[in-house]
Structure 1
Amino acid sequence: MIQKVYENIYLNSVRLPNTPLKSLNSYIITDANRALIIDSGFNTQISSEDFFSGIKELGIDIKNTDLFLTHLHADHSGLASMFQRESSGKVYSSINDASYVTKMIQNSFSDLFVMSLKLFGMEASEDFFSSHPAVSYCPDSAIDFTYVKPNDIIKIADFELNVISVPGHTPDHISLYDSNKKIYFSGDHILDSISPNIAFWGDEHPDMLGEYLSSLDKTSALDIDIIFPSHRNIIKDYKRRIAEIKAHHFERLSEVLGLLDENGSKATVIEIASAMHWDYRAESFDAFPNAQKWFACSEAMAHLEHLKSIGKISSSDIQGIRYYFYNP
């Protein structure tokens, strides 16, 4: 379903099956001779029908259309291969997130997941991820990426879109900002009504939550009238929303620290995650689908690693399992 949200900007609502997110806000910016699409949807029939029918509804020539990926997740990158087969346009991405997309396509992305399961204190098995979106709905063939870096400018219609680096939700998440129009395409960096998942991305990214909080501060310093997020509602009071998201994570940090204390000052990720409050509806943590269980554990670990980075707790890997210690 196409909705005009700004002059020359349209929101194409792309359904996301089998996920609590329900849909993606794929934005289409139109010009007389060219178009730019921001994010795509899952590599599924339902998502592809919505994605390509939106392009057709606007009468856009897909051959003269480019695709910008804010980050690697399959609900944003899943249709990039299919798009590139139909279009002669570019597929923009940050270089590091593009490398993860390539790993998804090559079926090697699950190595990160399996490694994480062991650290969490769970049984390490590739079968655990058979229903994970990164495995089920990722692009189906190699992508010829056009890499962008911070402060690159993409011009379309009368917009000058500045590439902004906002790591946190993923290691190399990027957004687009027009300082003259005061509009900001946030991807999953800032969302309304739901908090972006902040995950553990391996020890090469030791404090993703810290990076995310810094990225929020960077965005808060910009002059923005409208944020176009990738899910849920358009955001106008962005400073309020940023403050709410930061408060949520500070509450999470207090919750995690309290649970670690209650657990005798020593616990694994799975022990902490299973005791945390989650909005996902299920009878118990054990009843979570595997993908949601991994997201929960990975977010719990991101908070634990941030507490470690600021000196509140310590950790030790014992037989491949990471134990966290609270010494008040």
Structure 2
Amino acid sequence: MSMVTPASEAQREAWRSGTLPEVERVRPGLWSIPVPLPIPLRYVLVYALELPDGVALIDAGWNTEEAYGALAAGLRAAGYEMTDVKAVLVTHIHPDHYGLAGRIREVSGAWIGLHPADAALIHGRYDEVAVEALVERERGLLERSGVPEMTREELAGASLMIRHYVSMAGPDRLIEDGDRVGLPGWDLRAIWTPGHSPGHLCFAEPGRRLLFSGDHVLARITPIVAVHPQSAPNPLADYLDSLEAVGKLDVDEVLPAHEYRFLELAERVGYVAAHHAERLAEIETVVAGADGITCWEAATRLTWSRPWETIPAHMRRAANNETLAHLVWLEERGRLRRGGSTPERWYPA
């Protein structure tokens, strides 16, 4: 585990003790507001950037009453009301980041900003009718991966319940790689960092030497990078490329969406890249030791943070799809090949 220096001891202590951290003034004009989540990550850190006439937010939280109340209370602690929000910059469209954006806009008239690659996925992911087709495509992917039929049914719709934590809201502005966001008093620059989601954005503030890293780089855990019906064909290649690009930034502090703020960006990036290199080597070893192996079989033989049998259904699906992302990366590098169609089997090249 690469140890990074926490920029906030109080935040790290809250993470360790399983409590919600306090609202913190990170710098003059910049606040960190923890918004609770009903999942093991426990909270998302929403950042409030003071403007001459209100505040802009980076990320928003889930659409629950508890989350909305915590965000409103956090804004009040900073001296603002929900009606003062002028913009919501969404790092990516996962429910814990984007879920409340629509509700905030209804209350305040704020504009919502997203990268085009994630904006293009909103309808298919969150529309009641379109989501059936998404589940069907996921079922097909799991079948090709060799997931047993009974397990497949459970896994295909495993994340349907979290759709309800999103107030579906199209963006008012599309934010492209390299765009200067144009918030008065801030020199915020968008960095497109695909991998965890196709349109994931980080935001750099060169004058203040800060990086708002979303889920792209976190202090302790690594984000899920998986092949799924809405992913790019080779999301791990995208992730590792964008990770390398971010690692070259000269910043003093990283402000992620979970866990706690930390200092050493380049060291953390190096650790995450090494983690994926180890995982790729482990998968190659597993494939080499079998006479044609499915993605699901490979996933069950890998090292996870807990025993395979104890991993809940939606996390097992993520584990399968993460394993597939690594298999695809190795295939593209000519280190593995696949044969057959349903299920596909993997072999050494």
**TM-score, reference length from structure 1:** 0.91
Q: Contact conserved, 2:43 with 2:258, CA < 8 A, in 1?
A: yes
Q: Contact conserved, 1:148 with 1:163, CA < 8 A, in 2?
A: yes
Q: What does 1:1-328 align with in structure 2 at a 5 Å threshold?
A: 1-17=22-38, 19-65=39-85, 66-107=87-128, 108=131, 109-122=134-147, 123=149, 128=155, 130-132=157-159, 135-202=162-229, 205-264=232-291, 266-279=292-305, 281=306, 284-319=307-342, 321-327=343-349
Shift of 1:202: 4.5
DSSP-derived class of the 2:24 partner = strand
Shift of 1:196: 1.1
**In 2, distance between residues paired with 1:144 and 1:238?**
30
Which region of structure 1 is more displaced relative to structure 2, 80-89 or 244-253?
Answer: 80-89
Shift of 1:74: 1.0
Which region of structure 1 is more displaced relative to structure 2, 44-53 or 159-168?
Answer: 44-53
DSSP-derived class of the 1:155 partner = coil
| Corresponding letter in the other structure for 1:229 | P
Q: Contact conserved, 2:36 with 2:66, CA < 8 A, in 1?
A: yes
Which region of structure 1 is more displaced relative to structure 2, 44-53 or 26-35?
Answer: 44-53
Structure 2: stretches of 5+ with no match in the other structure? 1-21
Residues 105, 136 of structure 1: CA spacing in aligned structure 2 closer, same or farther, 3 A cutoff? closer
Shift of 1:51: 2.0
Residues 87, 215 of structure 1: CA spacing in aligned structure 2 closer, same or farther, 3 A cutoff? same
**Equivalent residue pairs, number:** 321
Residues 301, 224 of structure 1: CA spacing in aligned structure 2 closer, same or farther, 3 A cutoff? same
Structure 1: stretches of 5+ with no match in the other structure? none
Residues 46, 115 of structure 1: CA spacing in aligned structure 2 closer, same or farther, 3 A cutoff? farther
**In 1, distance between residues paired with 2:221 and 2:160?**
19
Residues 145, 317 of structure 1: CA spacing in aligned structure 2 closer, same or farther, 3 A cutoff? farther
**In 2, distance between residues paired with 1:43 and 1:166?**
25
Q: Contact conserved, 1:132 with 1:290, CA < 8 A, in 2?
A: no
**In 2, distance between residues paired with 1:75 and 1:204?**
18
**In 2, distance between residues paired with 1:112 and 1:238?**
37
DSSP-derived class of the 1:213 partner = helix
Residues 317, 98 of structure 1: CA spacing in aligned structure 2 closer, same or farther, 3 A cutoff? farther
| Corresponding letter in the other structure for 1:323 | R
Shift of 1:129: 5.1
Shift of 1:112: 4.4
Please identify which structure carries the higher strand content.
Answer: 1
Shift of 1:136: 3.8
Shift of 1:82: 1.5
DSSP-derived class of the 2:121 partner = helix
**In 2, distance between residues paired with 1:240 and 1:325?**
34
Identity %: 25
What CA RMSD, in Å, does the superposition of the two structures yield over aligned residues? 2.1
| Corresponding letter in the other structure for 1:54 | G
| Corresponding letter in the other structure for 1:97 | D
Shift of 1:137: 4.3
**In 2, distance between residues paired with 1:229 and 1:276?**
28
Q: Contact conserved, 1:227 with 1:236, CA < 8 A, in 2?
A: yes
